[in-house]
Amino acid sequence: MVKPLLRINDFVVKFANVNGSGSASANGLFARSVLKMGVPVAARNIFPSNIQGLPTWYEVRVVEAGWRGRRGGVDLMVAMNPETWVEDVLEIEPGGYLFYDSTKPLPPSKFREDVTVIAMPLMAICNQTYSDPRQRQLFKNIIYLGALSSLLAIEPEVIESLLAVQYKGKQPLQESNRKAFRLGFDYAAENLKPIGLRIERRDKVGSRIFIDGNNAAALGAVYGGATVCAWYPITPSSSLAESFAKHCEKYRVDPATGKHRYAIVQAEDELASIGMVIGGAWNGARAFTATAGPGISLMQEFIGLAYFAEIPAVIFDVQRGSPSTGMPTKTQQADLLISAYASHGDTKHVLLFPEDPKECFEMGAQAFDLADRLQTPVFVMMDLDIGMQDWLTDPLVWDDARQLDRGKVMTAADLDAGKEFGRYLEVDGDGIPYRTYPGTHPKRGGYFTRGTSKDAYARYTEDGHAYVENMQRLLRKFESAKELVPAPAVQRAAQPTHAGAIWFGSTGAAMAESLAVLAKEGIHLDQMRIRAFPFSDAVAEFIAAHEHVFVVEQNRDAQLKMMLVNECGIDPQKLISILHYDGNPLTERFVTREIAEKARLFNVTPLRKAAG
Amino acid sequence: MTYLTKPKLHHPGLPTNVLGLTRRDYEGAVSTLCAGCGHDSISAAIIQAFFELAIPPHRVAKLSGIGCSSKTPTYFLGAGHGFNSVHGRMPSVVTGAALANRDLIYLGVSGDGDSASIGLGQFAHIMRRGVNMVYIVENNGVYGLTKGQFSATADKGSKAKRGAVNSDEPIDLVQLALVLGASFVARGFSGDKGQLVPLIKAAVEHKGIAFIDVVSPCVAFNNHPGSTKSYDYVRAHNEAVNRLDFMPHREPIEADVPAGGVQNVALHDGGLLRLRKLHLDYDARDKVAALAYLEAHRAMGEVVTGLLYVEDDPLDLHDAQNTVEVPLNALSDAELVPGSAALATFNAKLA
């Protein structure tokens, strides 16, 4: 007989629902109520590409230790979808709990002996209380929220105050939701046996905020001075552009005239989106688009033009399951190669890798400075896991002394002062030329932008020497970018080791926890989180300093490893790939298991402690 | 093409406009197109129009796609910034540029391959959005740079230089522009500069999208008998509905214009377009009638030219966006960055 789990502030609750049944609101309230109890959560919405009818899950990891990734496994399943019953019941940990609607009796074969069943006749309660079918459906969610509040000891006042905020100004709705909540709470208190999972009030959330990366990145674009946004709806990036619109309505309306200090165009496709971005940036505005892998595919020709004609552009790529249409509502990090080397011919592009919504904000703003400084496209490589999930993250900060860096722009005064202007002329030895905005000066500084070969003064030429010079300067410019992009974050293992681990982006959430678990098991790894491409010299040095380096990424073909091998001249044998690409957010258990297994295979052991 | 470079010295007697600039100041580099190319006549008309309008050349942004026509922005308004972008995608680049700086004048030059084939999608959508620009298609019904393939504006039954007969229906960009909401639609002929220059001037002054389809024969690949885009064919079948007198607000307007034969259209800046009607029944403000007229005359094999449709006071993309009067590319950090206090409030709401 397996003992029921006894856990305080450290367990996983998973809600299995039907898409479009109104469950998202109740499940979101659950996560926020735990936060209001001062206990951190890591929440993941696992949803289908569908508006109504298909299965959808919401997983809330209650985690006092503050880990931000998924753990793996489920301790309490709230099984509200008959269609996925079998797999949902299977996923529960031995000793776990199954909460279900017992209105219709189910045969014993549908249950597990090692799982404690919590039966509540939700539909019967709803049918007794409500006559309207839609109300029966919607309030069912709030009723189970009430029951969970009682079972897990979430203070009911906490949820009631959240309901008050959610339905502020809509008194009847607030009251009916409160009643439904109390109905569930009271039923559970009177009829259900207490369980071994409990939430106790702590003060572990602090000033951290609960926000999704798309929202944070959009705010970053506002703080980064973006004024032109052109986009085409595509999951999982659409909410980035939509959030930008909301932020602009708040922060970018001229109070005197009510007029907009921004423009947002929903374009006819991604080709037009990137064209508008390039046109706007060519003309001196800060412009961006938000898209996903299929959009990057469509933008290839324009991205090559921007690289060769040296026009700034910021592209937020919220990566999803690929190739082709792939899995639009699933997460992956599989657009690295197509972004890093986008377009025909010899091209290389700057990529930024935020690890959480806070970095989405920071890099979302910094991308515009980099694009202007380097006069080239800059990709902010997000993914669905960061972009569309709410993460607990440190509060966003901004230094008011910071100025937007517009890069090397020659003004009318510069031209009048007799400064020599050649649009593609090497002046400072860093490969970055000067540009003028259109309309600057009646006589000087005008030039013709083209994707065809040109000389240092932007004059058309097919001369091979001029072409090679230009291509070499572009390489020097890329070299200069190394020093400007965010440096990798390095952390030494607690004990000296010959092995290391490299990762980027959303993988960090599971990595942090996994490395702590591995260290306890005696596997110590030095750590490097890559934050940008081109890779800083520190990346090659880190790999050189270790015998084995695990490269953890969320794609099939080890795209980061390929780039490390090619760009840094690394022996591929040194790099051990840990790959996860089923579209679900990475779990600590997966990473720990994979690294531990491969560490054994490759004989990766910690250095012996010094004698004595 | 010619290999002679243009002399920099001006004849002292060249006429100047109110800015003190001569026509030469509106020229660009020497054309590399074939001698006799219709496109060069259009470039000359553009030069003449901007000279007469006395617009400082550097305040014009010239954008194009790819193809013979798209090369021409190098050949006029040399002091302005130019952008030879991606095949068929000039409209999106102009849209972004126009959003960034509403104070410049935007001139897009494209061809029939660039706008009616590869770029038909972007052509359609820029017409819908009312970007404040002049959009000229130099229409010769043929791909010149790739040596003589039909384009999507080639008439059904027209014959290629090597004898192939076009079996596909043509796309009439003028009719498309009308249906898609362009607020100024005209057709000209590169061989009729007297008609074309006022059309370009009126298009520049028009707020919103001003589309001009200019039939522009390709002397290398589409100027033979059997072509419907040759000089001879267009001269024989040109059906001009009106002639345009462009009257900027700077000049006094004559009071006694002949009744019946004249249609006046007010410009947003107070200027006036005066249409001398060659066909008394043609009303350039009646879109439905214009479409019917165009289709009827197309069926007769005629090329209808003139100012075909104009809306009196259209709204443009900046009106729809409700953007500030200051160009977006000139906003200061203080106007763009909300600052740390706003961020603290933002954080507090999500805690």
Position B255 pLDDT exceeds 50? no
Give me the pLDDT at residue B2, please: 53
Q: Closest Cα to residue B40, out of B185, B191, B142, B223?
A: B191
User: What is the distance between the alpha carbons of residues A436 and B109, in angstroms, rounded to a whole number?
Assistant: 22
| Distances, alpha carbon B45 to alpha carbons A489, B33, B34, in Å | 60, 16, 17
Q: Which two tokens stand for residue A66?
A: 């503050």
Any idea what the Cα angle at residue A428 is, between residues A423 and A434, rounded to 5°?
Answer: 25
- Give the pLDDT band of residue B259 (cuts 50, 70, 90): very low
The interface predicted TM-score of the complex, written ipTM, equals 0.96
Interface mutation target, options A260, A265, A356, A394, chain B, most CBs of B under 10 Å: A265
Contact A499, A546 (CB under 8 A): yes
Any idea what the Cα angle at residue B202 is, between residues B201 and B206, rounded to 5°?
Answer: 120
| Nearest chain B CA: its distance from A228 CA (Å) | 7
Q: Closest Cα to residue A260, out of B97, B99, B316?
A: B99
Rounded to an integer, the average pLDDT of B322-347 is 98
Domains recognised in chain A with CATH numbers: 7-198 (3.40.920.10), 211-393 (3.40.50.970), 412-484 (no CATH), 489-601 (3.40.50.920)
Specify the range with the lowest mean pLDDT, choosing from A262-271, A569-578, B203-212, B251-260. B251-260
pTM, full prediction: 0.96
Q: Check CB contact under 8 Å for A228 and B125.
A: no
Q: Closest Cα to residue A212, out of A229, A237, A190?
A: A237
Residue A16 burial (CB count, 10 A): 26
Give me the pLDDT at residue B5, please: 66
CATH 3.40.50.970 holds for B23-347: yes
Q: Check CB contact under 8 Å for A262 and B323.
A: yes
Coil, helix or strand for A564? helix
By CB atoms closer than 10 A (0-12, 13-18, 19+), residue A122 is: buried
User: Tokens 């797999």 map to which residue?
Assistant: A87
Give me the pLDDT at residue A56, please: 95
- Give the pLDDT band of residue B56 (cuts 50, 70, 90): very high
| Helix pair angle (A122-129, A171-191), 10° resolution | 130
Rounded to an integer, the average pLDDT of B127-133 is 97
Position B264 pLDDT exceeds 90? no
Q: Where are the domains of chain B?
A: 23-347
Contact A470, A314 (CB under 8 A): no
The mean pLDDT value of chain B amounts to 91
User: What is the distance between the alpha carbons of residues A253 and A257, in angstroms, rounded to a whole number?
Assistant: 8
Interface mutation target, options B58, B102, B321, chain A, most CBs of A under 10 Å: B58
- Give the pLDDT band of residue B3 (cuts 50, 70, 90): low
Any idea what the Cα angle at residue B89 is, between residues B84 and B95, rounded to 5°?
Answer: 90
User: Tokens 């809306």 map to which residue?
Assistant: B311
Question: What phi and psi values does residue A490 have, to the nearest 5 degrees?
Answer: -115, 140
Coil, helix or strand for A14? strand
Give me the pLDDT at residue B119, please: 97
Give me the pLDDT at residue A440, please: 97
Give me the pLDDT at residue B176, please: 98
Q: Amino acid letter at B152?
A: A
User: What is the distance between the alpha carbons of residues B96 and B104, in angstroms, rounded to a whole number?
Assistant: 13
Residue A541 burial (CB count, 10 A): 12
Give me the pLDDT at residue A603, please: 83
Q: Which residues of chain A have pLDDT under 50?
A: 609-612
Chain B CB contacts of A438 under 8 Å are: 61, 80-81, 97, 101, 104
Position B271 pLDDT exceeds 90? no
Write the pLDDT tens digit of every residue in B59-71: 999 999 999 999 9
By CB atoms closer than 10 A (0-12, 13-18, 19+), residue A189 is: middle
Question: What phi and psi values does residue A143 have, to the nearest 5 degrees?
Answer: -65, -40
Contact B165, B138 (CB under 8 A): no
Give me the pLDDT at residue B247, please: 60
Q: Which of A219, A252, A282 sits opposite B83 (nearest CB)?
A: A282
Contact B30, B43 (CB under 8 A): no
Chain A CB contacts of B75 under 8 Å are: none
Of residues A253 and B148, the one with the higher pLDDT is: A253
Q: Check CB contact under 8 Å for A230 and B96.
A: yes
Write the pLDDT tens digit of every residue in B289-327: 999 999 999 888 899 999 999 998 899 999 999 999 999
User: What is the distance between the alpha carbons of residues A399 and A571, in angstroms, rounded to a whole number?
Assistant: 42
Give me the pLDDT at residue B250, please: 47
Looking only at Cα atoms, what is the longest distance across chain B?
77
- Give the pLDDT band of residue B246 (cuts 50, 70, 90): low
Q: Closest Cα to residue A22, out of A49, A70, A58?
A: A58
Any idea what the Cα angle at residue A365 is, between residues A528 and A342, rounded to 5°?
Answer: 70
Long-range contacts of A443-446 (CB under 8 A, 24+ apart): A443/B58, A443/B79, A444/A415, A444/A416, A445/A410, A445/A412, A445/A415, A445/A421, A446/B58, A446/B78, A446/B79, A446/B80, A446/B81
Write the pLDDT tens digit of every residue in A138-150: 899 999 999 999 9
Give me the pLDDT at residue B248, please: 57
Q: Check CB contact under 8 Å for A280 and B99.
A: yes
Q: Which of B92, B321, B328 sits opposite A267 (nearest CB)?
A: B92
Which residues are bridge partners to B22 per DSSP? B16
Give me the pLDDT at residue A358, please: 98
Q: Cite the beta strand spans of A310-462 per DSSP E.
A: 313-319, 350-352, 377-383, 390-393, 448-450
| Distances, alpha carbon B172 to alpha carbons A157, B117, B178, in Å | 68, 12, 10
